[in-house]
Structures are given as structure tokens and as C-alpha cells.
Amino acid sequence: MVDKDLLSMQEARSLVRGAKIAQEILATWPQEKVDRLTESIAKAAIAESGNLAKLAVEDTGFGRWQDKKAKNILASDTLYKHIASMKTIGIINEDTDKKLIEIATPVGVIAALVPSTNPTSTTIYKSIIAIKSGNAIVFSPHPSALNCIRETIAVIHSALQSMGAPQELVTMMSIPSLEGTTELMKQADLILATGGPAMVKAAYSSGTPAIGVGAGNVPAFIERSADIPRAIDRIMSSKLFDNGTVCASEQAIVTETIIADSVCKELTAKGAYFLNNSEADKVKAIMERADGSMNPAIVGRPASYIASLAKISIPDNTKVMVYKEEGIGKNYPFSKEKLTALLGFYTADNWQEACEICFKLLKNGGIGHSLVIHSKNDSVIREFAMKKPVSRLLVNTPSTHGAVGISTNLPPSLTLGCGSVGGSSTSDNVGPKHLFNSRWLAYGTNQEEYLSGETANKCDDAEMEIDIKKITELVLKELQNA
């Protein structure tokens, strides 16, 4: 009997070998042809966005298919429109005055780790940005999402085939295992990791260059000048989107004491139910596993399901359960990330105190990620922006939609960097520009001062002049013949 782990490791090696050959073919394609290929993938994904969304819910049990369809559209149509004109192949910048030419060079083969919360959309998104930047990509799927990821790649393969591109540009492991994924990360040229802290840590510890993102524990601050009804509408729409499975969704509300009653009243009117201490204790008992990590049984589930699991009764119209948590830290589950229909609630006497509460919440598992503020006071907004250790400070918008680029002008992305403070190599919304290296042609200028007096006297302006356009033409010719 052959060991599954050994089969998984061998599969990883074989897939990377095939991907390297395919990537070498893609590397000969000009920008225009690569752009048509990414457009073809996007169109194929758009056409199947609903079917793939339903399949993701069937496989994982997480979220709502209607919202997963919206994420599939974000990862295909919205993303493609944003990057369509982006230069990612060959010469992408030239400065004739400074005599500098920037050439994009693909990293090669990317190992992509996919979370079970966003399996189809993440697969679409990573495939498009990998191909756009001239790379091949091999996916290590979450075991619970194996089927829907396989179907997503089948859709992408149809697009590759229509353009005469090798299918090995986008592949996945059919025998996922820890050992196989570890081998994949070792064999690849770059790791693109989206998932839990353990996955990201493993990526950065693999010895292969990696782009990983941290957890989100997003506070939503409602400042006293805010339009409270609109703020609650935004928070509820964000938290309910795909049943809270997006890492940028709100995890706790922080508001000022002077408006707290109005905020609570509006929350209740919009379908929030405030748990009493007894009910909260029962919910807390099912929120985490023994090691303090999030219980997957509640992830992406509606409030009614969680209440049933906790054996408590809640009103039929309840959309989100809220608890006025007493503290922040490992012993206070409502102060942590909750990718489901649960929210913590905190009050502060003023915005300065609220600022500190938000900072503590971020330090409790979401530092570097995102924070959302609802306010009409630009001075307070700017104070938050200057002091909070986040990569995205979102203003008067649903956090989920704002962070991924739906309701803001941030780049559309399903991999949200958390910066060095969050243990990530970037603070950006990750896109094609993060998946290629830059090769610089830099010509000497004003260099007579570095030459000996005798040599300098032999040089004149005519000899030092460089025909950048001619050099550019030669470089392009060489790239096309490579």
C-alpha cells in the first residue's frame, strides 16, 4: 500500500515540473497576448460564477451562494477591468531623461494556498493575477473545498485551451496533505498564502519567498458625529455578506457613551439581538476549540444556526448576535475574530478612549489589517489614520466591501496585506505587480567626476549621449526572440 503523504509529495513535484515548462512557454508571449488570455479566464469565470458559488457552499457549508457569486464576480470581472491596461510583461516603464528602463520579469511558478471560506473566488483571483504577470500557478486546496476548486480550475482550463495556452499553467493538487503542501512550497518560486495564521507562518518558514496575509479582527468605530442609521446599515450589510466569512468583516463595534443607546436601538431595529450574560456564556462555549482557536462549526453560519448549536432561543428576525463584552484578550471570545454572525460591543467616553479600545482589539489578533470608522469629523478620522496600526482605514463604508475594493477605489483583491506589523511582506491589496520582479537598465549620467582627469578630457557630450529609443527597440527585439 502506497503512503498518501508520499503520493502527495510526488504529485507536488510533478505539478511544479509541468508548471515550469508551461511558464517558459508563457514567457515568450507578448503583453497583448497575455492580456487576451487573462480576459478569456475572466469571462469564463463570470459565466460560471453562480454555479461555482453554489458548489462552494455545498462543499464547505460556509456562507451564502449569492454572496459567493458576488465574490466570484469581484475576482474576475472587477479585477480584470482594474488590471486590463496594467503593463506586466517586458518593458513596463522608461524614463528617457533619467536614462532608466524597467523590465518586468515573472517569478516563475507560484504555490497558492486557498482557504475554505473563499475557495472559488480565491482560485479565480490568484489565477488571473498569476497569468497576468507571466507566471504559472499550482494550488494546494483546502480538503473541504477540493471539489469546488477542481471545478473552478476546469473552467479556467477551458479558457486556456481556447487561447492555445498549456493547461499546466494552472493546476491543483488532487491529493492534498500537509507533507504535500510543504513540498509544493519548497519546489515553487513564490508562495501566495491566504488563510489562517498557521498557514501563513508555514509559508514564511518554508525557505521560499512568500506573500502571506494575517488575520483580521476589524473594529468598527461609530463616532458621535456619524449618521447612525447609515452606519448600522453599512455594518450589517458587511457582517451579513457571505455570513461574515471575509476576513475584513467587522468583528466588534466601538462607540461613544453619548450615542450608545441610539446605536443599540438602531442595531436592534435592523435585526441585531443583544445577548444577556447567561446566553453569552452558552455561545462562548461553542465559539472556540480547546486551544482557543475559532471553532469551524460556527464559521459562515447564520445566527439561527449558532443559537441552535448553543441551545438558546433568539427572536426569529435575528441576523446578528451582539454581546457587550467585558474585556479584551484571550479570555474574551467576543474580542477576537469571528467569521460568522457574532459581534462584540464596546463603549467609550470619547474618541480618544475609543481609539485605545480599537488599538487593543487590533493587537488581539488583527494588527496590520483593517479598521473602519463612521464619522463626519475629518479631524478625528485623520487622527485615527495617523495612529492606528492598520493597512486600510476605511471611512463610512462597509468594511468587507471597502477593504476588497467593491465600495472603495482600493485595488480589487482577496489577499489583503497586513504589513510588517502584521507579519506580512506587504501592506497592499495584492495584485499582479507583486508577482513579478523588476530588472533595471540604468545608464551612467554625469559620470565625468568619477573618471580620471586624463580620461575625462577625452569624453565629450556627444560620446556620453545614449539613444534610449534605440536601446528600447533592441531590448524588445531580444525579449521577443527569447
Give dist(CA 207, CA 41) in Å, integer: 31
**Residue 256: φ, ψ to 5°:** -90, 145
User: What does each C-alpha distance from 1 to 5, 7, 10, 174 come to in angstroms?
Assistant: 12, 11, 15, 18
Strands (DSSP E) along 166-259, which ranges? 170-172, 190-193, 210-212, 218-222, 250-256
Buried b (16+ CB within 10 A) or exposed e, 166-203: bebbbbbbebbbebbbbbbbbbbbbbbbbbbeebbebb
Give dist(CA 170, CA 22) in Å, integer: 9
Element (H, E) at 369: strand 368-374
CA 62, 67, 71: angle at the middle one, nearest 5?
100
Can you read off the three cell numbers belonging to residue 97? 531623461
Side chain identity at residue 173, one-letter code = M
Choosing from 148, 247, 358, 418, which is the catalytic residue?
Answer: 247
Nearest to 405 by CA among 86, 56, 82: 82
Q: Which residues contact 329 (CB under 8 A, 6 or more apart)?
A: 335, 364
Please check whether residue 53 is in contact with residue 72, taking contact to mean a CB–CB distance below 8 angstroms. Answer: yes
Is 247 among the catalytic positions?
A: yes
Three-state DSSP class for 474?
helix
Q: Residues with catalytic annotation?
A: 247
